[in-house]
């Protein structure tokens, strides 16, 4: 469940960008990776190396989530400005944008491995080594369901993730910006005629998607206490799968897809052995797409339901 909600948060970024631009932003996995490092920066600067309690803990977690959001959203905006907007302005094909995304993704990974991690985190020559976060919160068991114990950190991840998703849903459905996003997704030309500033909307989309990936990064870090420059790759692929599973372009679909994927993976691994984990999740994906090509909640932003 906890893993599923992280998938879901990242999947939101894929789904939103796809909904608005019809572009699969493959660099989104690096947006997530940078979010984990943004969050890592807070305890690093504060020099925390033992478990915290009470207000201090809450404060640090909030700061980490904010730092993660800031780093990720910043990256997403920069990506849009540098890697996608120039292409869009020249009317380049979507394939060009896709390739630009893959290039940006590898660029960011290597940038982190070679410069950012050694430089910012004071690890000379060690950019490719997994970086561990000291324990922030004691992992007390809260209660157990069906013999599975549920720990504080897992509850934190799920609660925070669901909170963010509800907020996002409200944003897209109830605000002016949200209406702009939905309008652009439905018909960009008509939206321009109705006075929607497409560039602003696209920027907002990347900002929100990036912010969600940043939250996911911070939550992941708090829960698993380590990260590395390639952490984004598997998560990106899985979140993309979740987005497709739920019906890409559909926000609630991304949520459902993420949770379903997380559960299928874990239960599948228990029944068939961990070796088969990926086989199972991707078999499910293929099966769902065979029978419902539009995904579980098969309608998109285009149908104005967000």
Partner 1 sequence: MRPKTARLGGVLAAGVALTLGLAACGDGGTDAKPADGGSSAAAPSTVKIGFMGDLTGPNAGIVIPPRNGAKLVFDEYNKTNPAVKVELVEYDSQGDPSKAVALAQQAIKTDKVVGLLGPAFSGESAQVGPVLEEAQIPSISASATNTKLAENGWKFWHRVLPNDSVQGPGIADFIAGPVAAKNVFVIDDKSEYGKPLADAVRGQLATKGAKVTNDSLDPAESDYSSVVNKVAASKPDAIFFGGYYAAAGNLLKQLRDKGVKDAKFFSGDGSLDKGLIDGAGAANAEGALVGCPCYIATPDVTDAKVKGFADAYKAAYSADPAIYAAEGYDAATVFAEALKAGNTTPDKINAFIGTVDLAGVSKQVKFAPNGEVEAKDIYIYQVKNGAIALLGKATEAKLG
Q: Rounded to the nearest whole angstrom, what is the least distance from the CB of residue 57 to partner 1 in the complex?
A: 17
In this chain, which stretch among 25-33, 135-143, 168-176, 282-290 interacts with partner 1, using CB under 8 A? 135-143
Q: How far apart are CA 292 and CA 252, in angstroms?
A: 16
Neighbours of 1 (CB within 10 A): 15
Nearer to partner 1, 23 or 216 (CB): 216
Q: Rounded to the nearest whole angstrom, what is the least distance from the CB of residue 161 to partner 1 in the complex?
A: 15
| CB 300, CB 248: distance < 8 Å | yes
Q: How far apart are CA 44 and CA 209, in angstroms?
A: 25
Residues 269-298, interacting with partner 1 (CB under 8 A): 269-270, 273-275, 277-278
CA count, 13 A, side-chain hemisphere, 154 = 13
Q: Rounded to the nearest whole angstrom, what is the least distance from the CB of residue 141 to partner 1 in the complex?
A: 8
Residue 134 in the binding site for partner 1 (CB under 8 A): yes
Q: Rounded to the nearest whole angstrom, what is the least distance from the CB of residue 273 to partner 1 in the complex?
A: 7
| Burial letters 16-51, b for 16+ CB under 10 A, else e | bbbbbbebbbbbbbbbbbbbbbbbbbbbbeeebeee
| CB 192, CB 183: distance < 8 Å | no
Please give the helix or strand (H or E) that residue 141 lies within, else none: strand 141-145
Residues 84-123, interacting with partner 1 (CB under 8 A): 113
* Strand partners of residue 132: 226
Please give the helix or strand (H or E) that residue 159 lies within, else none: helix 152-174
Q: Which two tokens stand for residue 80?
A: 């849009």
Q: Rounded to the nearest whole angstrom, what is the least distance from the CB of residue 234 to partner 1 in the complex?
A: 6
Nearer to partner 1, 225 or 299 (CB): 225
Residues 144-183, interacting with partner 1 (CB under 8 A): 148-149, 151
Nearer to partner 1, 139 or 292 (CB): 139
Query: Residue numbers of the site for partner 1 (CB under 8 A)?
Result: 3, 113, 125-130, 132, 134-135, 139, 141, 148-149, 151, 220, 224-226, 228, 230-231, 233-234, 265-266, 269-270, 273-275, 277-278
């Amino acid at each position: 469940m906890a893993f599923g909600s992280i998938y879901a948060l990242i999947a939101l970024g894929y789904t939103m960008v796809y909904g608005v631009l019809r572009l699969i932003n493959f660099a989104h996995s690096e947006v997530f990776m940078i979010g984990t490092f943004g969050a890592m920066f807070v305890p690093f600067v504060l020099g925390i190396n033992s478990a915290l309690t009470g207000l201090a803990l809450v404060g640090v977690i909030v700061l980490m989530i904010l730092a993660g959001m800031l780093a990720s959203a910043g990256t997403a905006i920069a990506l849009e400005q540098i890697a996608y907007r120039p292409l869009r302005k020249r009317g380049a094909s979507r394939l060009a944008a896709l390739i630009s995304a893959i290039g940006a993704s590898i660029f960011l990974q290597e940038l982190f491995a070679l410069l950012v991690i050694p430089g910012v985190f004071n690890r000379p020559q060690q950019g490719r080594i997994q970086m561990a976060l000291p324990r922030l919160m004691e992992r007390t068991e809260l209660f157990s369901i069906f013999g599975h114990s549920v720990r504080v950190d897992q509850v934190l991840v799920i609660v925070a993730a669901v909170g963010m998703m509800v907020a996002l849903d409200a944003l897209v459905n109830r605000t002016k910006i949200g209406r702009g996003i939905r309008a652009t997704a439905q018909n960009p030309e008509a939206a321009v005629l109705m006075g929607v500033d497409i560039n602003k909307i696209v920027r907002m989309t990347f900002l929100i998607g990036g912010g969600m990936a940043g939250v996911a990064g911070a939550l992941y870090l708090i829960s698993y206490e380590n990260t590395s420059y390639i952490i984004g790759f598997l998560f990106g692929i899985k979140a993309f799968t979740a987005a497709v599973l739920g019906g890409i372009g559909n926000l609630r679909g991304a949520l459902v897809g993420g949770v379903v994927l997380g559960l299928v993976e874990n239960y599948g691994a228990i029944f068939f052995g961990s070796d088969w984990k990926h086989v199972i999740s991707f078999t499910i994906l293929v099966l769902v797409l065979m029978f419902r090509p539009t995904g579980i909640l098969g309608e998109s932003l285009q149908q104005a339901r967000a």
